[in-house]
Amino acid sequence: MTTETRPGASRERAGRFDPATFEPKWRQRWEADQLYAARDDDPRPKRYILTMYPYPSGDLHIGHWYAMTGPDIVARMHRMQGENVMFPMGFDGFGLPAENAAIDRGIHPAEWTYANIDNMRRQMRLMGAGFDWAREVVTCDPSYYRWQQWLFLKFYEAGLAYKAMGAVDWCPKDKVVLAREQVEGTDRRCWRCGTPVEKRDLEQWWFRITNYSDELLNFEGIDYPEPIKAMQTNWIGRSEGAEIDFPTEADDVEPIRVFTTRPDTIFGATFMVLAPEHPLVPVLTTEDRKADVEAYVAAARRATEIDRLNTEREKTGVFTGAYAINPMTNERIPIWIADYVLPGYGTGAIMAVPAHDERDYEFATKFDLPIRYVVAPASGELPTGRALVEHTADEVLIDSGEFTGMPASEAIRAITRALEERGQGSFAVTYRQRDWVAGRQRYWGCPIPIVYCEQHGAQPVPESELPVVLPMDVDFSPTGVSPLQSHEGFLKATCPACGGPARRETDTMDTFVDSSWYFLRYCSPNADDAPFHRDQVDAWMPIDLYTGGAEHAVMHLLYFRFFTKALRDLGLVGVDEPTLKLRNQGQILGADHNRMSKSRGNVQAPDELVARYGADAVRAFLMFIGPWDQGGPWSPTGIDGVHRWLGRVWHAAQPAEGPSEPIGPGADALQRALRHATHSTIDGVTEDIEDFRFNTAISKLMALTNAITRSREAGLAGSEAYDEAIEILLLLMAPITPHIAEELWERRGKPYSIHQQPWPMADPEWAAAETIELPVQVDGKLRDRLVVTPDTPAEEIERMALASEHVQRYLNGRPPARVIQIPGRLVNVVTPKD
RNA sequence: GGGCGAGUGGCGGAACGGCAGACGCGCCGGCCUUAGGAGCCGGUGUCGCAAGACGUGCGAGUUCGAAUCUCGCCUCGCCCACCA
């Protein structure tokens, strides 16, 4: 090895790799030059890439870096590929933590929120992420929420927002109602604070999301991860079946309507069960049963939702004394009430078929009610001691009048049709999904633009009076009620209908309303005459790529689809879906494989890491940990490896000084090998980034770096192939490690900015290998390798393979039974069977 | 109970049905240093001196060939759950 090529020597010339000396400089310059501004009048093809905006909790944690670096890389590559990329950022400004900070520490929520936003904006700049800050949206700003109020009024006019009584989930700690989607786990905890929720009957604002249940089940034409589709589908919970009317014996009482997915089992319906809350309960209950029924209803009301939904609990219920008529058998069947029938699902009443439903079976056994099997496999074998719920292909109806012998699948339709002809039933679809409770009894949110007049009731605030501004001078003493309720100046309003005195709505909107349309506001961030302009929305929407956490599967990711469809029906947008493609990042865990939390002491603060390693190393290491959608544990030593890699790139890319290195014999082949490595890396990295495989993209870049280093040691530094390799390496690194790529690009005398250079294209001739190594297998086991040129004829390869002594050993002189060749991939010699 | 994922070296992870373990961490050895918790070079699946054998949670199957496809188990994670 000559002195010139000794690694240490060139390092001394180049100076130490120290990101702190150049990273801040480039960030300032990129920002000053508005390198990432997306312009409406740009003729290049648009690409709208969006990552979920953060809640301004105060600090950007490593998880934010992880979530945002992925889409930033994709956005940067697409920019270099000549597209007009919009990659905006904003803040989810409203929310409870701000209000809690006010209560705990006496800071106004606005002050707390905007201070946090300032800090987080600074931290995001530190990441070197290419956000278009000119489009920033802050949802707690009146210029934003004014238009949210405007949209609310459009929803209200269209009947998509309405006020109604309902049994809602209530968090006793946050003193606020929650949407069903915001209640988590078997023990039904508040999604924010983890407190078990209670059920309360309250008058609330709702969004009619259920109008769109069917459409929300349709994922055609959009690319969502399978788990998200499954979760949304389960959440919406579509069931097909029938609604059937069971007349009662009482005079002048409407029949009991039930929903069932198993109309084929109606001949086995031996009793009925109503939810305790069912409106017919007081009407139907006989005098002698009244005391028992009322006691049960009262107890059911007191029981918590947790108790009630506990499937382990033994069934309870009481007889009402009343009877219904099974419309198919004309039998009198008793009507019971029980809390395992839920008031909010289906019709709140069921026909109980104990032979074919486990819950009904349990109930019938406990209360000694008849159990009649009406479906059986062809063998006629019926279970004992349990319900028959599983299906067999040959099952048929038994003991079912004229339908006896009919396959059950056919009977579902036949029986429903028969009931329909008699006016006693119809095909029906039911959903688990309920409407979205949109109001919150809190201060720090978007005020609902409604006033209440003694005479005219709820009245929308006229558009000209928007925004209804959140007053700043409020008292945050923890009284448990929204400070808006005691703010006279806010409460006092005028009825738009009569001009008389009115009282303002004090509920504010769920913060998920804010995030249901922010992506549209990014298209028209400065519009002051509308929430957004149709031409700009038409130009940018739909989002081409949306990224964020999977924990929003049935919350934000359902709500923003609903909003988009509702806005389409209001004529405000022209798309059916907000985004064409969704990707979820995984979670970064602590080094101990646990979730990062202050109490565990395993939290990695990004600012410290940047100070020590630079932003590029943090970005690259996070992306290198594993598949982006999988996440993984932070490794305090792993980042050293990425740092070392950047150091190797740094030294390899320093411009050659003086005469180029002496090139010895064989240099031509070495140069060709380096070119092959370079050009095959272009294709690999491009595909990997497109598919969110940042970990393998980086490993390919490391491998190319290793090839470059070896070629330098072989004396190639300064050669054409070497310079090309370095420059392509820098271009491919630019999206991932933007600072070092820019710095080295400049040091090599290339024009500013590397981020505005065209993305490299592989030369197919170089990308193709000159020689390939073919594995030779005998009976599928590797025995030898052949080095051949790609155009070697198959007969020649077969001859070489059979000539191999390693192959001969297994053939023992016999001719092979078969020789399988996969061109360019392998040869497999199959030995004859003895 | 239902749905969806995932099980590969000491670790994070690679691998269009075709060379298992790319790339990196760690570890071992060496170089350079007054020094090394810096940097650089080499080695590193297991067993074996070697030739070689064995290896992707377990068990079957399909195939010339299976980490990959099929079936049945086991384990872990996430979501939903008295939804008629």
Q: For the segment A53-109, what is each residue's pLDDT rounded down to a tens digit?
A: 999 998 898 999 999 999 999 999 999 999 999 999 999 999 988 988 888 888 999
Lookup: nucleotide whose C1' is closest to A350 CA = B84
Q: Which of A546, A535, A528 is nearest to A574 (CA)?
A: A535
Q: How high does pLDDT run on average in chain A?
A: 90
Q: How far apart are CA A349 and CA A344, in angstroms?
A: 10
For B24, nearest residue by CA–C1' is A641
Secondary structure letter of residue A768 according to DSSP: S
**Dihedral of the CA atoms A597, A601, A605, A609 (nearest 10)?**
-140
Q: Between the CA of residue A775 and those of A106, A511, A778, A809, A829, what are the distances in Å? A: 72, 59, 10, 16, 11
A808 three-class SS: helix
- pLDDT in the model for residue A769: 81
The CA distance from A22 to A640, in Å, is 19
Distance A628 CA to B68 C1' (A): 21
pLDDT of residue A640 exceeding 50, the answer is yes
Q: Which nucleotide is nearest to A310 (CA to C1')?
A: B82
Residue nearest to nucleotide B79 (CA to C1'): A231
pLDDT at res. A770:
82
Indicate the DSSP class of residue A78.
H
In 3-state terms, what secondary structure has residue A605? coil
When mean pLDDT is compared over A209-223, A593-607, A655-669, A728-742, the highest value belongs to A728-742
For residue A33, report the phi and psi dihedrals to the nearest 5 degrees: -90, 0
Which position has the higher pLDDT, A234 or A302?
A: A234
CA–C1' span, A819 to B66, in Å?
Answer: 19
A708 CA from B39 C1′ (Å):
19
Closest CA to A68 of A81, A84, A48, A49: A49
pLDDT > 70 fraction of chain A, expressed in percent and rounded: 95
Instruction: Dig out the tokens for A167 from the structure.
Output: 């049994």
Tens-place pLDDT, residues A715-763? 888 888 999 999 999 999 999 999 999 999 999 999 999 999 999 999 9
What's the whole-model pTM score?
0.92
Read off the pLDDT of residues A121-165 as tens digits, 9 standing for 90 and up: 999 999 999 999 999 999 999 999 999 999 999 999 999 999 998
Residue A657: the pLDDT is 56
CA of A624 to C1' of B25 (A): 12
Tell me the C-alpha distance between A60 and A122, whole Å: 9
Q: Which bases of strand B sit closer than 7 A to a protein CB?
A: 2-5, 11-16, 18-20, 22-26, 32, 38-41, 52, 64-66, 78-84
Distance measured from the CA of protein residue A30 to the C1' of nucleotide B62, in angstroms: 58
Instruction: Using the C1' atom of nucleotide B16, identify the protein residue whose alpha carbon is closest.
Output: A825
Q: What is the mean pLDDT of residues A320-338?
A: 95
Contact A80, A758 (CB under 8 A): yes
Nucleotide nearest to A239 (CA to C1'): B83
pLDDT digits (tens, 9 = 90+) for A532-585: 999 999 999 999 999 999 888 889 999 999 999 999 999 999 999 999 999 999
Burial of A500 (0-12, 13-18, 19+ CB in 10 A): exposed
If you measure CA to C1', which residue is closest to nucleotide B37?
A637
Structure confidence at residue A5 as a pLDDT band (50, 70, 90): very low
Is the confidence at residue A659, as pLDDT, over 50? Answer: no
CA of A234 to C1' of B69 (A): 28
In the structure, how far is the CA atom of residue A703 from the C1' atom of nucleotide B20, in angstroms? 19
Question: Can you give the distance from the CA of residue A642 to the C1' of nucleotide B54 in angstroms?
Answer: 35
Q: Which residue is nearest to nucleotide B31 (CA to C1')?
A: A8
Instruction: Identify the sign of the CA torsion A198, A199, A204, A208.
Output: positive
Which nucleotide has the shortest C1'-to-CA distance from A17? B39
Q: Which residue's C-alpha is at the least distance from the C1' of B26?
A: A637
CA distance A736 to A695: 11
The two beta strands, A772-778 and A826-830, are parallel
Distance of alpha carbon A725 from alpha carbon A563, whole angstroms:
49
Residue A827 has, within 13 A of its CA and on its CB side, a CA count of 29
H/E stretch holding A612: helix A606-613
Quick one: pLDDT at residue A739? 97
Find and give the residue nearest to B2, measured CA to C1': A234
Q: Which of A130-134, A384-388, A764-768, A803-807 has the highest mean pLDDT?
A: A130-134
Beta bridge partner(s), residue A785: A775
In chain A, the percentage of residues whose pLDDT exceeds 90 is 64
Residue nearest to nucleotide B6 (CA to C1'): A630
CA of A829 to C1' of B63 (A): 15
Between the CA of A630 and the C1' of B7, what is the distance in angstroms? 14
| 3-state SS class at A406 | coil
Out of A243-252, A590-599, A662-671, the most confident range is A243-252
Nucleotide nearest residue A641, measured CA to C1': B24
What is the average per-residue pLDDT within A437-454? 93
Provide the CA A775 to C1' B49 distance, Å, integer: 28
A462-482 exposure pattern, b = at least 16 Cβ within 10 A, e = fewer: eeeebbbebeeebebeeeeeb
Instruction: Look up tokens 């030779």; give the residue.
Output: A776
